[in-house]
Amino acid sequence: MILATLLMAIFAFSCTSNADKIALLDKSNFETTVDGKDVSLYTLRGGDLVMQVTNYGARVVSLWAPDRNGNYADVEIGYENIDRYINNTGERFLGAVVGPVANRIANGKFVLDGKTYTLPQNNNGQTLHGGLLGVDRIVWDVKSCTESEIVFVTTLPDGQDGFPANRTIEMTYRLTKDNEFTVLYSATTDAKTVFNISHHSFFNLEGDGEGTILDHILTINSKAITPVNEFLIPTGELMCVKDTPFDFNAPHAIGERVNEVHPQLAAGAGYDHNWVIDREDDGTIQKVADVYSPKSGRGMEVYTDQIALQFYCGNFFDGSYNNKFGKPIAYRGAIALETQRYPDAPNQSSFPSVELNPGDTYTHTCTYKFYTK
């Protein structure tokens, strides 16, 4: 009887997993040359996950995960070919690594050891995610690639986008048998610099192009955010989240309070803020957030050794351009959960430092762990 029950369970799973319906992107649509370096597409598998990555900006372009019934969907917002990433007119940072200093730097300037460094500025007069090239518009070298892991390396030359020093970065994307997508970073420098790299996947746990993420249930282990001005630059203060729409210590639907009247929601056009994680800055890896789709039953936990988390709910998507499946990327149609240190830290003396010195090694771990219920 026990054996028969086990066989029936295995048969039921095989009939509902639908893994054969995963629609992998065509590798040939990503094969090109940029700045004399070859670009390609790589497919990784681990546990129930299947992920495709290009070495242009080390971008995740698709990530297939099962729902509670074993039906697969691509939960990563992305494009269907490399040209749309290189010459895109929509969201620049889809699935990319961002840096060398993620997030915003006020006025495109900072002072380090008495010297002022000037960086490329956007139309708001600030530097976002590293400048004109950053690390998302370069071709990373592939050091190694296995079925479940790819290791990227690059060296950013002194002066790229105005940042000082030659910086060597190694970054690993790994899928595990436990349905984890782990990102590992390490970086060294030959001169004093600033460094705060992050990963910028946009997720929709109901599937890429399947409406908004407003029904997703979010939890963040944080008692405070770094409030921002009208240009999304931190004021240098901390704002307690208790009794505000920013308190996600208990689970809340993202859309439950996003349209409330609050000066910080007005400043960010919704949620686009840095949460200060309630933890010690001791390098240990801890769970910091959880997001869950009641409709699909897919959930994603976030683990990191970092002290902050940027949560963005797709306020600037407007449905005017399509995803890889030809569907509009809807207003608030994706969520980004970016582990990092505080934004604009080079200009905020009260914030934890993002300085990196010769002889020291920057390290950073971020894990997105998928589950169903």
Looking up tokens 């889809």, which residue turns up? Answer: 94
C-alpha to C-alpha distance for 372 and 280, rounded to whole angstroms: 30
C-alpha to C-alpha distance for 203 and 333, rounded to whole angstroms: 8
- For 248, the token pair is 């996600």
User: Side chain identity at 297, as an amino acid letter?
Assistant: G
Max CA separation in the chain (angstroms) = 77
Please tell me which residue in 129, 273, 338, 364 is annotated as part of the active site: 338
Please tell me which residue in 199, 200, 273, 364 is annotated as part of the active site: 200
Catalytic, 338? Answer: yes
Catalytic, 280? Answer: no
Q: What is the dihedral of CA 204, 209, 215, 219, to 10 degrees?
A: 10
Catalytic annotation, residues: 200, 338
